[in-house]
Structure 1
Amino acid sequence: MSDYRVLLIQIRDADDPIGQQEIGCFAAALDCPESAIRVFDLLTTELTASHLADCDMIVIGGSGRYSVTSDAPWMSKAIKSLQFLLESGKPTFASCWGFQALSRAAGGKVIHDLDNAELGTHSVFLTEAGKQDPIFSQLPESFLAYMGHEDRVSVLPPGTTLLATNSRVAQQAYRFDDRPVYCTQFHPELTLPALHARIEAYPEYCERIAKIPFDVFCQQCQPATDSESILRRFTKQYLR
């Protein structure tokens, strides 16, 4: 088990049922103890150098019920914190909300698009750049990934490279070209049971996106074992 220190940036209410589960999911995906993960509340706190000083990497996951497209004051403050994070050069991996938020912070565009929302397991395809990337090139050209989003990145920020795509949402994974930062619209920190537990905690997602009962949704999901390896490949590339 690895001994690096991880800062998990969360965008969740204090009573969010998935807050603790998210810690366990990242710990398992990174092969580190949960005690190695420290949580940072981006909803209420501004990120500073002191928060970054005693961690080896940063991870950002989903958000529960908060949208990157919001114009609320908390989002403006969050964007400034994420811009500071990007300037720090710290190894960072962001999924779902984090994927969208770092894109917006770096000058990309995020939109709400319920018509192209994805929930469950969906196929993702490597771009030509993805096939050459040190992390993504170790994946099959087509692989399954765990999804749960209504917003999407419509325009990538400058200085990034698209690594994965599909026919519904073109921007599925990208990296920053000049710093160790990778972002995925999908959730490589999840497993199939964790995906089921997360959707069960947010039943409105199943009703609004999948439009099927939860038990039927679970039957349609498949294991996305290839994507589950991405975070460990990231740490091998940048932390060892």
Structure 2
Amino acid sequence: MNDTRYLLIQIRDFDDPIRLQEISCFADALQSTPESITVFDLLSMRLEASHLAEFDMVMIGGSGRYSVTSNAPWMKHAMVSLQRLLESGKPTFASCWGFQSLARAAGGKVIHDLPHAELGTSLVTLTDAGKLDPIFSQLPESFEAYMGHEDRVIELPPGTTLLASTEAVAQQAFRFDGCPIYCTQFHPELTLPTLLSRVEAYPEYCERIAQVPFDVFRRQCQAAPHCETLLRLFQEHFLA
């Protein structure tokens, strides 16, 4: 176990069945403990520089019920908070909702696009830049990754580099140039069992996206061991 101090920015209701699971998933992926992770509720709080000062690394994961395409008041406040995070230059790894929200906060474009939704495991392929990236270059040129999204980024923000794509969605991973901030549409914090338990907790996703019964969906998924190494690779590169 390590003694790194983590801040997990969450966008989940208190009764969200995955709220606690997400903390454990990030802890396991980082070879740490849930006790090492402090949760920041982005739905009810505004992030200030003082919140970031005591932490070594920030993570942002999924959201369950909240879309980055929203223009509700909470989302406008969240954008300001995430812009502060970007300005801080704090080592940050953002997946899924985090990927989309940091893209939007920095000037990219996100849309709701059910025809291009992905759920389960999909083959991710590195771009030429990804093959040269200090973190992604340690992965195979193509690898399976855990997916679960209906929104997608259609335009990356300025000052970023695309690192990976799938056949359905071109923007699957990017980094902010000159900053220790990486974002993935897929979920490196998950394993196959935690992916399946998450989809089982949100049965409407399986019906709406996969359009097959859960038992069929389960058989379609496979382990994605290379995807599972990304958070540790990020940590080793920026916090060693």
TM-score range, shorter chain: over 0.9
Give 3-state SS (helix, strand or coil) of 2:68's partner. coil
Q: How big is the shift at 1:233?
A: 0.2
- For 2:134 and 2:2, locate their aligned partners in 1 and report how far apart those are by CA, in whole Å: 21
Separation in structure 2 between the aligned mates of residue 31 and residue 217 of structure 1, nearest angstrom: 29
Aligned residue identity for 2:190 = L
Aligned position for 1:161 = 161
Structure 1 segment 195-206 matched on structure 2, within 5 A: 195-206=195-206
Measured after TM superposition, the shift of residue 215 of structure 1 is 0.9
Aligned partners of 2:147, 2:4: CA distance in 1, in Å?
27
The separation in 2 between residues aligned to 1:200 and 1:165, in whole angstroms, is: 26
Task: Report Cα offsets for 1:112-145 as digits up to 9, x if no partner.
Answer: 0000000000000000000000000000000000
For 1:44 and 1:6, locate their aligned partners in 2 and report how far apart those are by CA, in whole Å: 19
Deviation at 1:32, TM superposition (A): 0.9
1:94-119: CA deviation from partner (whole Å, max 9, x where unpaired) = 00000000000000000000000000
Name the structure 2 match of 1:150: 150
Which residue does the alignment assign to 1:179? 179
Q: Whole-Å Cα distance in 1 between the matches of residues 203 and 166 of structure 2?
A: 25
| Letter paired with 1:105 | A
Q: Distance between the aligned counterparts of 1:52 and 1:166, measured in 2?
A: 33
Count of residue correspondences: 240
Cα separation, 2, equivalents of 1:218 and 1:23: 23
Counterparts of residues 19-168 of structure 1 (less than 5 Å): 19-168=19-168
What's the secondary structure of 1:212's corresponding residue? coil
Distance (whole Å) between structure 1 residues aligned to residue 121 and residue 166 of structure 2: 12
- What letter matches 1:238 in structure 2? F
Partner SS for 1:147? strand
| Mapping for residues 198-237 of structure 1, pairs under 5 Å | 198-237=198-237
User: Percent identity over the alignment?
Assistant: 71
The 1-side partners of 2:233 and 2:3 are apart by 16
SS of structure 1 residue aligned to 2:94 = strand
Determine the C-alpha separation between the residues in 1 that align with 2:119 and 2:132: 28
Structure 2 unmatched ranges of 5 or more = none
**One-letter code of the match for 1:230?**
L
Q: CA RMSD in A?
A: 0.4
Cα distance between partner residues in 1 of 2:207 and 2:125 = 27
Report the Cα distance in structure 1 between the residues aligned to 2:157 and 2:36, rounded to whole angstroms.
31
Runs of 5+ unmatched residues, structure 1: none
SS, match of residue 186 in structure 1: coil
Tell me how far apart the structure 2 counterparts of residues 218 and 37 of structure 1 sit (CA, whole Å): 30
- Cα shift at 1:31: 0.9
Task: Tell me which amino acid in the other structure corresponds to 1:222.
Answer: Q
Deviations 1:50-87 (A, max 9, x none): 21011100000000110000010000000000000000
Q: Structure 2 CA distance, aligned partners of 1:166 and 1:200?
A: 24
Amino acid at match of 1:190: L
C-alpha distance in structure 2 between counterparts of 1:8 and 1:166, whole Å: 27
The whole-number CA distance in structure 2 between the counterparts of 1:142 and 1:234 is 18
Q: Determine the C-alpha separation between the residues in 2 that align with 1:138 and 1:55.
A: 26
What is the Cα deviation at residue 167 of structure 1?
A: 1.5
Aligned residue for 1:189? 189
* Aligned mates of 1:47, 1:145 — CA distance in 2: 30
